[in-house]
Amino acid sequence: MKKILLAILILTFYTSNSYAISFNQEVSNAQSNYKKNEFESAYKNYQKAQVNEPKNDSIKYNLANSAYKSGKYPEAENIFKNLSDESNSKEMKQKSLYNLGNTFYKQSKLEDAIKSYESSLKLDPNDIKAKKNLEKAKKELQEKKKNEDDRKKQDKQDNKKNNSKDKDKKTKNDQGDKDKNKKDDKSPKGDNDKKDNKSPNNENKKDKQDKDENKNSNKKQENKNQNMKKEEAEKWLNTLNDNNKKMVSDMLKKKMIQAYKSQKDW
């Protein structure tokens, strides 16, 4: 019985001692990695150490710092939040809030960073680093808002210009369509007018030609008749004596002169 109890005590001592050696070795390795700026290795060793001490605030804090230095900002954010909410140490809360502010800042979450710095300063108003980082975050947030406002104004002006250009372009296009429609409407109408006017003009021209032809034909016929009358008169005059010839000749000449004057000059 005594031998059994002794074996249990030796086993317990050995197990505890092995656990302590393992934990201390992991922490030691993590610390060594961190000092050498081997932050990824430090993060892994602190994770191993946390398995043995899940509620150890120091392990959590160093794990979060290693995550931050490795660029694992979401992981660091979660651990620092947990420490600031659950730690019983005022100092640990204050340091976690300060580092949480830095983690937010790295992620461009300026408003959250400002809140964390302000909470940190409530626990330690003399923290110079927290004050400087707070002012820096506020200044950048102000500049960011100003740039956003300027960008919105510029976008508004650009949209206004683009709308104006689109409106002018639409107006020109509409005017162009109107001019085109007007031209199209005018062109067929002109053709129709031309076609409609073509026939009457030709008819008038033809009528005029027919009249001229009739006039010339009448003149020729009259001249022919006159020539025939003149020949008949000469034959008749040959049968008369000289006195009668003269008298008849004078009469015929007068008649011919009168007939010539009575013709209408077209």
- Structural tokens at position 172: 């020109």
Question: What confidence category does residue 220 fall into, taking pLDDT thresholds of 50, 70 and 90?
Answer: low
At the fourth CATH level, which superfamily is domain 2-128? Tetratricopeptide repeat domain (1.25.40.10)
For residues 93 and 87, the answer to whether their CB atoms sit within 8 Å is yes
| Domain range list for the chain | 2-128, 229-266
Question: What confidence category does residue 107 fall into, taking pLDDT thresholds of 50, 70 and 90?
Answer: very high
Model confidence over 1-58: pLDDT tens digits?
Answer: 555 554 454 444 443 444 456 778 999 999 999 999 999 999 999 999 999 899 999 9
Q: Which residue has the higher pLDDT, 233 or 156?
A: 156
Give burial (CB, 10 Å; 0-12/13-18/19+) of 185: exposed
Model confidence over 170-193: pLDDT tens digits?
Answer: 887 877 777 777 766 665 555 444
